[in-house]
Amino acid sequence: MVSTPASAEQEAADRRFMAAAIRLAQKNSGRTSTNPSVGTLVVRDDGAGPVIVGSGVTAIGGRPHAETEALAEAGELARGATAYVTLEPCAHHGRTPPCANALVSAGIVRVVGAASDPDPRVSGRGYAILRAAGVEVVERVLADEAAERIAGYLVRSLQKRPEVTLKLAVSADGMIGRLGEGQVAITGAVARRQVRLMRAASDAILVGIGTALADDPELTVRLPGLEGRSPARIVLDREARLSPASKLATTARSVPVLAAVGLDADAARKSALEALGVKFLATETYEGRIALPELLEDLAALGMSSLMVEGGAETARNFLDEGLVDRIALFTGPGTVGAGGIVSPLDRNHIPDGFRLVREARFGDDALAEWTKAL
Ligand code: AOF
Ligand code: ZN
């Protein structure tokens, strides 16, 4: 089959509807794990311009898939229509039949896809089913934008570890805090609320034991309407030094706390924490530190697709040095810390190679900039 080049008008419309499908997919982002949140739009044009006749998002918990819902809404209007899918439609029989077959049966004549699916049960097969049935397929429309939104799923599938976001709050003079002072307010209340929202969209949050001891953070979401959305809290705690009196340990029964300890961590200290509900992941250590690749592999095996690293400087530097950061979320506040400040491992003029700026926003007096690595 020789495909005719799409008109500029068609290409512009494809990009517009795909952008809308990507925004739609955001609705259930972080709530479909271990499935990605996918968006589908069914669009038909009866001569008077394109009209959306069905829309769907992957359901909370991961099933049904987005296509099922969009096709159900479109009903008979799907016949002869175009489907915009932010991820290649699946080709496998899971608890539901393959979405590629469902699109064919519904009479879809054209499928525009964004991100490719690395799942070996799908990868290329979804599009092949469609083409074999005579459906016109256009691949990789806004593929990078769609992939960025499902980075957790893609990193976990391809690298067997969660996607790692390094979150840093840096003062105007490049500091993340002051030595020996516990939590120092670098950003304002609006930015701090945004951080809690970012926590709610992650599967886990991680800090080093230095930060846990110095700041005694709780690391929960604490936002109205999002109670119960706090992700698991992880402490890099080679020697099980977390205090049983800490906020983390004393709240471990309501929001999980996982201490990443060395294989030789003290048994008595561990059992004091265990009695409070703290769980342990024992990993190899090297150069006196938890082996991060091994820990991340364990977290992926527990079904975690996204991890937010929240501090402190040494932990951030270790993740950066080992090439284990996929996304940088850098908040910059207007104030200065001055003498005794802890220097940030990076600032916006020193972002490691391979990252591209994907978002900039302001939250009150603070700026947020985000960079991601190409997937
Ligand atoms: C789609 N549409 O909305 C999503 C897809 O366990 P299952 O049967 O739900 O399959 C999980 C796989 O389905 C997952 O690895 C990915 O390949 C695909 N996700 N596919 O057609 C969707 N969420
Ligand atoms: Zn599917």
Question: Residue 59 corresponds to which tokens in the numbers above?
Answer: 């359901």
Residue 3: what pLDDT? 56
pLDDT for 184 beyond 90: no
- Domain residue limits, the chain: 8-149, 162-373
- Could you give the CA distance from residue 195 to residue 166 in angstroms, rounded to a whole number? 12
* Domains 8-149 and 162-373 alike in fold: no
Query: Cα angle vertex 292, ends 120, 276, to 5°?
Result: 105
Neighbours of ion ligand 2 (CB under 5 A): 65, 90, 99
Query: In whole angstroms, how far apart are CA 234 and each of 120, 209, 323, 338?
Result: 30, 10, 19, 30
Residue-level pLDDT at 231: 92
Burial (CB < 10 A; 0-12, 13-18, 19+), residue 245, is: exposed
What SS3 class is residue 318? helix
Split at pLDDT 50, 70, 90, the class of 95 is confident
Please choose from 22, 35, 57 the residue to mutate so as to test ligand 1's pocket, defined by most ligand atoms within 8 A of CB.
Answer: 35
- Selecting among 67, 88, 148, 163, the annotated active-site residue is 67
Whether 215 is in the pocket of ligand 1, judged by its Cβ within 6 Å, is no
> Which is the CATH superfamily of the domain at 162-373?
Dihydrofolate Reductase, subunit A (3.40.430.10)
pLDDT tens by residue, 325-353 = 999 999 999 999 998 999 999 988 899 99
More confident call, 294 vs 94: 294
Spacing, Cα 87 to ligand 2 middle (Å): 9
What is residue 127's predicted lDDT score, i.e. its pLDDT? 97
Q: What mean pLDDT value characterizes the chain? A: 94
> In this predicted model, what pLDDT tens digit does every residue of 304-318 receive, in sequence order?
999 999 989 999 999
Q: Is 35 in the pocket of ligand 1 (CB under 6 A)?
A: yes
At residue 127, the 3 state secondary structure works out as helix
**Is pLDDT of 96 > 70?**
yes
User: Which pLDDT belongs to residue 234?
Assistant: 98
Residue 5's pLDDT is what? Answer: 66
Residue whose CA is at the smallest distance from ligand 1 atom 20: 90
What ligand is nearest to the CA atom of residue 98? 2
Q: Which of 6-10, 43-47, 148-152 has the lowest mean pLDDT?
A: 6-10
- Residue-wise pLDDT tens digits, 63-86: 999 999 999 999 999 999 999 999
Could you report the per-residue pLDDT of 164-177, keeping only the tens digit for each? 999 999 999 999 99
Please answer whether residues 126 and 90 qualify as being in contact, where contact means their C-beta atoms are separated by less than 8 angstroms.
yes
The pLDDT score that the predictor gives to residue 259 is: 98
- pLDDT at residue 79, rounded to an integer: 98
Residue 67 catalytic? yes
Position 52 scores a pLDDT of: 98
Report the predicted TM-score, pTM, of the whole model to 2 decimal places.
0.89
Q: Which superfamily, per CATH, for 8-149?
A: Cytidine Deaminase, domain 2 (3.40.140.10)
How many angstroms is it from 68 CA to the middle of ligand 2?
8
CB 107 within 8 A of CB 134: no
pLDDT higher than 80, residue 2: no
Would you say residue 1 has pLDDT above 60? no
CA dihedral angle for residue 87, residue 91, residue 96, residue 99, rounded to 10 degrees: 50
What's the pLDDT score for residue 375?
Answer: 72
Cβ atoms of 215 and 183 within 8 Å: the answer is yes
Confidence of residue 4 (pLDDT cuts 50, 70, 90): low
Question: Once rounded to an integer, what is the mean pLDDT over residues 116-142?
Answer: 96
What's the pLDDT band for 113 if we cut at 50, 70, 90?
very high
Would the pLDDT of 186 be above 80?
A: yes
What was the pLDDT predicted at 30?
Answer: 83
